[in-house]
Structure 1
Amino acid sequence: MDLKVACWNCRGIISAVPYLTNILSESKIDVIAIAEHWLRKSQFHFLNTVDSNYRAYGKSVDEYHPELYNCNFRGGVAFLVSNYLCPFIVELDIESNRICGIEIQFPGQPSVFQMSVYLPATTQPFHLFVDELELEYLMDIYRPYTNLGTVFLLGDFNYKIEGPRYKFVNDRRSNLLKTHLEATSSVSLHTLTFAIGPIHHIIRENICYISEIFIPDEDIFNVSDHKPII
């Protein structure tokens, strides 16, 4: 079954609703991974009001400590999934407020696993990227699921990946990620020559069944400094 998948760092979902609803309807998105929705646990239900044709799955910025008065509001990961897919959705048990996952179980077909990711920003120290085990944990999750079906990692990884469309001098983050991607024979789809638009990343192991990748044009309703990748 064909799926149209997207990911976007919305930089606050409340102000992002007009643009998001346009993207969902105009591009006929089946599943979109959202990073940085900035919602606390008591506010997470807001995602289910964005579009009545979609249901939300994911993590709040204070997922494991909702009792805290202060928390880092610049986070939160989620999926908006088209209602017709919801009977086939199983949420994955992932112990991180930076990673959430779903499994799509179509009858008689291998499972499709999708993980919405928001890794520590480049303004944060390198040790937060590694020592907090966010990257190691992500790859430890990713590897076994590749034996069970098709796996997509979608979101804001806060690192660069070299490929046919993008060359740069590797930094420590990029070298570390490159090692993991090579170990799992994985690629960023949007570094490949058939992609269109600026460089963003959706990572998966097998590219044989990808028909198109693109970035939408500028839009006055997009108040985020990121664009979605579809």
Structure 2
Amino acid sequence: MDNSLPCNLVSFNCKSIKRSIDNVRHLCQLADIIALQETWLFPHDIQFLSGIDGRFGSTGTSAIDTAAGVVYGRPYGGVALLWNKSVFPNVSVVDCENPRICAIKIVLSDRSILVFSVYMPTDKMINLTEFTDCLSS
């Protein structure tokens, strides 16, 4: 018996999901799971993800710290996952403490699958501590 499930997974560094929304909507026509990096969403904008395509569930994180009140410069970071709800009806969001990581658990009839979207710091030595902290979270 073949228990395989054909699935198209795409990873896309969107460099602002609001500016690349047409590209992301096109990916929704092609893929079952979409991992996004550099969404550049503020914490209060995460719900924007749920309006991209009604057929898709969503989760995401913001890397923008708004605690100080005023944010200078352009937004940065943020990751998200979109999944086709008709292909994967049994999905739960996995809590991740690091804003560079988001994850979902997909439950199939005979197994579970974890899917991550991760945006790691660059490979320069100055980022080594942040890189290892991210891996350990």
In the alignment, which residue of structure 2 is the partner of 1:77? 79
Q: Quick one: which amino acid aligns to residue 110 of structure 1?
A: R
In the alignment, which residue of structure 2 is the partner of 1:67? 67
* In structure 1, distance between residues paired with 2:36 and 2:25: 13
- Selected match of 1:2 from 1, 6, 22: 6
After superposition, the C-alpha distances for 1:130-149 in whole angstroms (9 at most, x for unaligned) are 212x34543x46xxxxxxxx
SS at match of 1:51: coil
* In structure 2, distance between residues paired with 1:91 and 1:135: 24
After superposition, the C-alpha distances for 1:135-176 in whole angstroms (9 at most, x for unaligned) are 4543x46xxxxxxxxxxxxxxxxxxxxxxxxxxxxxxxxxxx
For the aligned residue pairs, the C-alpha RMSD in angstroms reads: 2.1
Alpha-carbon offset, residue 67 of structure 1: 2.6
* In structure 2, distance between residues paired with 1:127 and 1:89: 37
CA contact (8 A) 2:100 2:134 kept: no
* In structure 2, distance between residues paired with 1:96 and 1:136: 9
After superposition, the C-alpha distances for 1:28-87 in whole angstroms (9 at most, x for unaligned) are x1110000000001111111121121121121123xx44332277220000011122554
Count of aligned pairs: 131
**Does residue 43 in structure 1 map to residue 45 in structure 2?**
yes
1:79 to 1:22, Cα distance in 2 relative to 1, 3 A: same
CA contact (8 A) 1:55 1:86 kept: no
TM-score, normalised to structure 2, is 0.83
SS at match of 1:22: helix
After superposition, the C-alpha distances for 1:110-129 in whole angstroms (9 at most, x for unaligned) are 2111110101135xx5232x
In the alignment, which residue of structure 2 is the partner of 1:127? 126
**Does residue 23 in structure 1 map to residue 22 in structure 2?**
no
SS at match of 1:48: helix
In the alignment, which residue of structure 2 is the partner of 1:99? 101
In the alignment, which residue of structure 2 is the partner of 1:115? 116
* In structure 2, distance between residues paired with 1:80 and 1:6: 10
1:126 to 1:41, Cα distance in 2 relative to 1, 3 A: same
For structure 2, the 5+ residue unaligned runs are none
For structure 1, the 5+ residue unaligned runs are 142-230
Q: Equivalent pairs: percent with the same residue?
A: 26
SS at match of 2:126: helix
Hey, which of these two has a bigger chunk of strand by percent?
A: 2
* In structure 1, distance between residues paired with 2:79 and 2:21: 16
